[in-house]
């Protein structure tokens, strides 16, 4: 494998930041304690990398 140049790394970082700024929700892939898979989505905002602030609801069903 070839090494990534500083310019390529800066380009990748810039594209990543643009992608994160354009998103408003994310998918949460979870599993219950019994191993039952779950999939849901939630709104989020990105703080200073790598902080994510995810809006959670107490009304989400709990799978047991």
Residue 39 resides in a domain: yes
Per DSSP, 48 falls in state S
Which is nearest to 19 in space by CA: 56, 46, 57? 46
Contact assessment for residue 40 and residue 28, using Cβ atoms and an 8 Å cutoff: yes
Distance CA 43, CA 55 (A): 6
Distance CA 46, CA 27 (A): 15
Range of the domain at 32: 24-64
Number of domains forming the structure of the chain: 1
Residue 57 resides in a domain: yes
Predicted confidence band of residue 63 (pLDDT cuts 50, 70, 90):
low
Which is nearest to 46 in space by CA: 23, 30, 62, 29? 23
What's the predicted TM-score (pTM) here? 0.56
Q: What is the pLDDT of residues 16-52, one digit of tens each?
A: 889 888 988 888 888 888 898 988 888 888 777 677 7
């Amino acid at each position: 494998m070839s090494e990534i140049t500083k310019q390529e790394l800066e380009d990748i970082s810039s594209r990543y930041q643009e992608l994160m700024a354009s998103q408003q929700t994310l998918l949460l892939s979870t599993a219950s304690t019994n191993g039952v898979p779950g999939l849901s989505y939630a709104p989020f905002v990105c703080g200073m990398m790598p902080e994510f602030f995810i809006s959670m609801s107490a009304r989400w069903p709990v799978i047991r």
